[in-house]
Structure 1
Amino acid sequence: MTDASTGPGAPAATELPAAAPARRGIWPFRRRGRTRVEEAPPVGPDSDEGSGAGIGRALKILLIIAASVVIAWGMGGIKGILAPTLLALVLTICAQPVRVWLERHGTPSGLATGAVALTVFALLAGFIGLLIVALAQFVGMLPQYKPQLQEFGDKLGEWAQTIGLGAEQVQQIKSSFNPSQFLGFFSGLLGSALSLTAFLVVVLTMLILMPADAAYTPTLLKQLEPSRPNLVFALGSFAHGVRRYMVVTTVLGVVQGILNGLALWALGVPAALLWAILSFLCSFIPNVGYFVALVPPLVFGFLTGGWGTVIAIIVIYGVVNAVVQSIIQPKVVGNAVALSQTLTFFAVLFWAVVLGPIGAILAIPITLLIRAVLVDADPQARLWRPYIGDLRHTRELMKEDAVARKAERQQLHGKGASGA
């Protein structure tokens, strides 16, 4: 049987016109389309799958979060003794090389430990005395600026009202420029006289006990190394990283405070010594400390010199902060910290909530201690180091990818030129 469409008398098949060739060169900025290939998910479990003894990954994550919340809540409950203990630990770690150097040069262990403790005591006493003098100067000169502060608060409140803030928020802004509020701010940072005394007692007592116990640390680590070499390695790296970070930050913070204080004194800003000390303390608080140290000088700079002084303070603080914390400090500290910017910012906020202002200052050392115990001490967990900030190998891969993409673009450009 013959098909009607192909039999005799059937109309001739209509030929479809050939596809027109692609027109090139008409629009020079024509985007070359790329066919997106959807990647298939990997087949099979991860290498660590099944290590949870039947516990699913989601359940493990929930258990870790729950445990972290409970631990953080407990740490917040004992922050009155935990915060000074952690501060004493960091100071002891920073002073340990001095004791080792003294013993290496023939000083008896007891005398070396006592010398280190006395040195740390003297530094703390000098700093606290300087802070008391600066606060006394600030309290003495504050009443004469009371009318100007209230006027400035009223103007700021009127401006806030024009942008739609409610009456309650405007009243809070006005009341925040009451001189008593400034005193409350510093008293909140330092705490009451009783809590400050208890804080210093714990710190000084720990600074007597910890250096004495630290004399046994090298031998204890040697005993532990055969059975726990990864833990010993992690603790050693932690001590080295914290020591490098704290010493460098302290030296650069002193430089930063001196430069800012001299600039404020030259501009005629009152209480320049206090703002210099505040700048030094805030140099230990990444990302957030710069703004905390900047606001009080701006307020008093505006009261004494107007907008010209405000602009000068912003420029000076910005330049000093950029040079010290963005250029010099990363080069000197190197990979001793290796925490991402996001994690660093979150750590500052988190430890400030848990331990108070001292938690914000010690945020980096505490986070490094947690990383050493949970990540560095576990060979299987070290694969997470790049995701929390150790990007040495990642940067190398990015450079290789950039070179490969550049070669691919050059190759495509060469083919396009030859085809044209």
Structure 2
Amino acid sequence: MTDDDLTPDAPPPTAPAQENRRRWPFRGRRPRPAAPDAPVDPDAEDGAGGVGRGLRILLGLAAGVVIAFGMAAIGGILAPTLLALVLTICAQPVRVWLERHGTPQGLATGAVGLTVFALLAAFIGVLWVAVAQFVGMLPQYQPQLQALGDQVASWLQSIGVGPQQVQQIEAGFNPSTMLSFFSGLLGNAFGLITLLVIVLTMLILMPADAAYTPTLLRELKPMRPNLVFAVTGFAHSVRRYMVVTTLLGIVQGVINGVALWLLGVPAALLWAILSFLCSFIPNVGYFIALVPPLVFGYLTGGWGTVVAVIIVYGVINAIVQSVVQPKVVGNAVALSQTLTFFSVLLWAVVLGPIGAILAVPITLLVRAVLVDADPRSRLWRPIIGDLTHTREVMKHESDERRAERRQAHEDRSGRG
């Protein structure tokens, strides 16, 4: 008796025809990959000091909450200071260009600061005039607004919305509520003057201090190269994002304003300015800028004007923010959509409307301090949105899977 006689009978080999045959509906279904095994060794981290990662995360979140409450407490001076910082960063290349062409340092600094402040003050003045015109014409639409509020309230009740929520939404269509809100904007002159004084002072002092920044960074680079890398990267990213967004926002506001004027929507200048401001607010700015023209477009032209406004705003927003801006800005921002939306909500709560407008620059500042300045923390950049390398890896894996499927198809065709 040989060893072959003791071997159990093996199952008959599968015929090639049966091997190649696939049954519907399982055609082309790939086997589900098994769950990866958990790593045995802990992650090697320097300076852990025996403190677990979970506890460090909780301590970091607690410190972040305390800092956020502190920033909110001084938001009245912190928000204009951050605005002046962003404006100084954007205007820094102009000051350097003037000095390179022979302009004295003090004259270049003062000229750039005053020019930026003049542009900001002129914009606020135009906004003030537009709001004043809107407040003057608002009582003319009181019956239409009241009727529209009643229609919206009836529809909400028909779909089961509670009476308390219906009353709150209906109150938003009350002309007296709108009038008091916009009149409050006009009457808050002291807060506006305080903001302009802080911005003007900072625009004079910050450019003067910024003249020493290149030399300070060169002296600091041998000792703290990562910090210098983070600061210079932050300035470059903020400058590119803000300049591009400002130029595209002007184009977007002008086109929207002209279209609203041609459609006969009242207060077209005010909604054009609102469109410009909301271009700095990612994700939600489009909807904020769209609602008022829709309401007043319906009051003046009915559903035809509403559809026209939606088309104009939708096309302009899709072209500017979805096609042009990503290509021009490139990887300067490198923040995920989720983090960007959360940053808008967070900084709007902490610093108010200026926080919502400066949400991306402030988040880039936080990333520069917490992530870019520490080589050990840069591994988090892909998670928070820097997907340049990740996209390359995904493309390589997709090409490999496509090649495998092509090879498998050729093998089956050869056996058939």
TM-score by length of 1: 0.92
Distance 2:267 2:96 in 1: 40
Residue 6 of structure 2 corresponds to none
Structure 1 residue 224 displacement after superposition = 1.2
Aligned ranges for residues 9-88 of structure 1 at < 5 Å? 22=18, 25=21, 27-31=23-27, 32=29, 34=31, 36-48=33-45, 51-88=47-84
| One of 78, 94, 113 as aligned partner of 1:98 | 94
User: Residue 137 of structure 1 is aligned with which of 123, 133, 150?
Assistant: 133
Query: CA 1:23–1:65 in 2, change beyond 3 Å: closer, same or farther?
Result: same
The Cα of 1:180 is off from its aligned counterpart by: 2.7
Deviation of residue 69 (structure 1)? Answer: 0.6
Counterpart position of 1:250: 246
Cα displacement (A) at 1:26:
7.2
Q: Determine the C-alpha separation between the residues in 2 that align with 1:363 and 1:35.
A: 41
1:281 to 240, 258, 277: 277
CA RMSD of aligned residues (A): 2.0
Share of identical aligned residues, percent? Answer: 70
The offset of 1:196, in angstroms, is 2.1
2:116 corresponds, among 111, 115, 120, to 120
Inter-partner Cα distance in structure 1 for 2:22 and 2:76? 74
| CA offsets 1:255-281 (integer angstroms, 9 cap, x no match) | 000000000000000000000000000
- One-letter code of the match for 2:70? G
Determine if contact 2:131/2:186 at 8 Å carries over to the other structure: no
- 1:190, 1:196 within 8 Å by CA — same for their partners in 2? no
Partner of 1:325: 321
Q: 1:204 to 1:415 in 2, by over 3 A?
A: same
State how far apart, in whole Å, the 1-side matches of 2:14 and 2:404 are.
28
Instruction: Kindly name which structure, 1 or 2, has the bigger radius of gyration based on alpha carbons.
Output: 1
Select 2:171's aligned residue among 175, 184, 203: 175
Is residue 2:149 matched to residue 1:153? yes
Deviations along 1:150-203, one digit per CA (max 9) or x if unpaired, are 110011111111111122222222211112322444467788332222222211
Task: Answer whether contact 2:114 2:203 (CA < 8 A) is retained.
Answer: no
Per-residue CA deviations over 1:24-82 (Å, capped at 9, x if unaligned) read 6473543456264342222312232x531100111111101111111111111110110
SS of aligned partner of 2:375: coil
Q: How does 1:205-354 map to 2 (within 5 A)?
A: 205-354=201-350
C-alpha offsets along residues 202-244 of structure 1, whole Å, 9 cap, x if unaligned?
1111111111111111111122111111111110111011011
Cα deviation per residue 1:99-120 (whole Å; 9 max; x = unaligned)? 1011000010000011001101
Report runs of 4+ in structure 1 exceeding 3 Å deviation: 15-33, 35-38, 183-191
Q: Which residue does 1:367 correspond to in 2?
A: 363
- How far did residue 319 of structure 1 move? 0.3
SS at match of 2:49: coil
Query: Is the contact between residue 138 and residue 179 of structure 2 (CA under 8 Å) also seen in structure 1?
Result: no
Is the 1:72–1:354 contact (alpha carbons within 8 Å) kept by the matching residues of 2? Answer: yes
Q: Which amino acid aligns with 2:71?
A: M
Paired with 2:274 and 2:133, the residues of 1 have a C-alpha distance of 14
Distance, in Å, in 1 between the alignment partners of 2:368 and 2:358 is 15
Give the 3-state SS of the residue equivalent to 1:117 in structure 2. Answer: helix
State the one-letter code of the partner of 1:337: V
Letter in 2 for 1:34: P
Maintained 8 Å contact 1:234/1:372: yes
SS state at 1:380 partner: helix
CA–CA separation in structure 1 for the residues paired with 2:324 and 2:53? 42
Distance 1:288 1:185 in 2: 21
TM-score, normalising length: structure 2: 0.93
Distance 2:218 2:30 in 1: 62
Cα deviation 1:329-370 (Å, max 9, x = unaligned): 111111111111111011001100111111000000000011
Q: 1:200 matched to which residue of 2?
A: 196
Larger mean CA deviation between 86-95 and 211-220 belongs to 211-220
Within a 5 Å distance, the mapping from 1:398-413 to structure 2 comes to 398-413=394-409
CA distance in 2, matches of 1:191, 1:355: 21
- Rate the CA distance shift 1:86–1:335 in 2: closer, same or farther, 3 A: same
